[in-house]
């Protein structure tokens, strides 16, 4: 977290800066700059006018026009985007519930005085110029059965780990994948290649419908499984005690009765 739903909310917040001109760039945290120097970021962005925003998976991009680089913003597990101190997402799971100025990593200050900034306690996000979108898989919110078949391929990796790999499918994180697999009735530790055609089509449809449903409800932490994602949790569908495992290096909750 943030997952694609939270980054989409950040994109909507960044949309409020369209038409504004960047007067100053605060790039003091050089660790947060990925493959680019502070000088390059400052020179590339200062004086530019925000033209549009977009999102691919968990990556937020800001279009500054044909003569300027595309600004790419990543948020890791605890990054938040704020405009004049107001976040689009009030609280992230796995992140502190307060705003500490020492966590500010990057900011754009506009000629009208507005300030768009990233705060990230764990510094797992980052800032890029002209990010390489070819390194990302298809957009999870729109994934088709054929695209998902290509993403799963012949991989023997655990199904959940494959779905979390942004190179194969862009946008899903721990909470969404647990919810999706629970709704689809698929075990997270199944080899990715073991799904038959019908199961892949079902999973693709469940990914799309779950993202849409939780988007309407307000975020990745609004799933039906969420309240039971703890050591003594039980399946909301059949009451079976949930299994707690690790998959894709992430804590995973699933039902051993209906997820097969």
Query: Looking at 111, 134, 157, which one is the last position of a domain?
Result: 134
Q: What is the DSSP string of 103-127?
A: GEEEEEEETTS-EEEEE-TT---EE
The answer to whether residue 259 sits within a structural domain is: no
Active-site residue, from 55, 56, 58, 183: 58
Residues 157 and 222 in one domain: yes
Return the pLDDT at 147. Answer: 98
Give the SS3 label for residue 151.
helix
Query: Looking at 91, 108, 134, which one is the last position of a domain?
Result: 134
Beta-carbon contacts of 258 under 8 Å, excluding residues fewer than 6 positions away, are 185, 235, 237, 238, 240
What is the chain's pLDDT, residue by residue, as a tens digit (260 residues)? 699 999 999 999 999 999 999 999 999 999 999 999 999 999 999 999 999 999 999 999 999 999 999 999 999 999 999 999 766 555 555 555 667 889 999 999 999 999 999 999 999 999 999 999 999 999 999 999 999 999 999 999 999 999 999 999 999 999 999 999 999 999 999 999 999 999 999 999 999 999 999 999 999 999 999 999 999 999 999 999 999 999 878 999 999 999 99
Predicted TM-score of the model (pTM): 0.92
Residues 87 and 196 in one domain: no
φ/ψ of 169, rounded to 5, equals -150, 125
- Is residue 250 part of the annotated active site? The answer reads yes
The answer to whether residue 49 sits within a structural domain is: yes
For the chain, what is the largest distance between any 2 Cα atoms, rounded to a whole number of angstroms?
A: 58
Q: State the Cα–Cα distance between residues 42 and 153, nearest whole angstrom.
A: 41
Active-site residue, from 115, 149, 244, 250: 250
Question: Shortest CA distance to 53 belongs to which of 12, 20, 82?
Answer: 12
Return the pLDDT at 70. Answer: 98
Residues 115 and 75 in one domain: yes
What's 18's domain CATH number? 3.20.190.10
What's 223's domain CATH number? 1.10.8.50
Residues 193 and 95 in one domain: no
Task: Look up the domain containing 194 and give its range.
Answer: 137-254
Instruction: Report angle CA 101, 102, 106 to the nearest 5 degrees.
Output: 80
User: In total, how many domains does the chain have?
Assistant: 2
- Is residue 131 part of the annotated active site? The answer reads no
Residues 128 and 151 in one domain: no
The answer to whether residue 71 sits within a structural domain is: yes
Instruction: Report angle CA 35, 51, 69 to the nearest 5 degrees.
Output: 20
Buried b (16+ CB within 10 A) or exposed e, 84-96: eeebbbeebbebe
Residues 120 and 152 in one domain: no
Q: State the Cα–Cα distance between residues 58 and 4, nearest whole angstrom.
A: 5
Residues 80 and 196 in one domain: no
- Is residue 88 part of the annotated active site? The answer reads no
- Is residue 34 part of the annotated active site? The answer reads no
């Amino acid at each position: 977290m943030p997952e694609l739903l939270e980054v989409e909310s950040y994109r909507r917040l960044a949309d409020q800066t369209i038409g504004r001109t960047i007067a100053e760039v605060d790039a003091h945290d050089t660790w947060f700059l990925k493959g680019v120097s502070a000088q390059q970021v400052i020179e590339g962005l200062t004086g530019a006018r925000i033209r549009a925003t977009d999102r691919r998976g968990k990556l937020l991009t800001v279009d500054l026009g044909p003569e300027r680089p595309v600004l790419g913003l990543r948020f890791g597990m605890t990054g938040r985007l704020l405009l004049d101190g107001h976040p689009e997402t009030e609280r992230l799971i796995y992140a502190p519930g307060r705003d500490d100025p020492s966590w500010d990593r990057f900011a754009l200050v506009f000629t009208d005085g507005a300030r768009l900034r990233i705060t990230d306690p764990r510094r797992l996000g980052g800032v890029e110029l002209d990010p390489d979108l070819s390194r990302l898989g298809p957009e999870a919110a729109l994934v088709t059965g054929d695209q998902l078949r290509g993403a799963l391929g012949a991989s023997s990796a655990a199904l959940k780990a494959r779905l979390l790999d942004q190179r194969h499918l862009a946008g899903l994180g721990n909470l969404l994948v647990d919810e999706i697999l629970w709704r689809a009735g698929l075990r997270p530790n199944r080899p990715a290649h073991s799904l038959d055609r019908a199961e892949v089509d079902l999973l693709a449809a469940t990914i799309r419908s779950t993202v849409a449903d939780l988007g309407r409800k307000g975020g990745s932490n609004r799933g039906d499984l969420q309240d039971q994602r703890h050591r003594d949790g039980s399946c909301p569908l059949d009451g079976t005690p949930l299994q707690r495992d690790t998959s894709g290096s992430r804590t995973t909750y699933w039902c051993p009765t209906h997820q097969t």
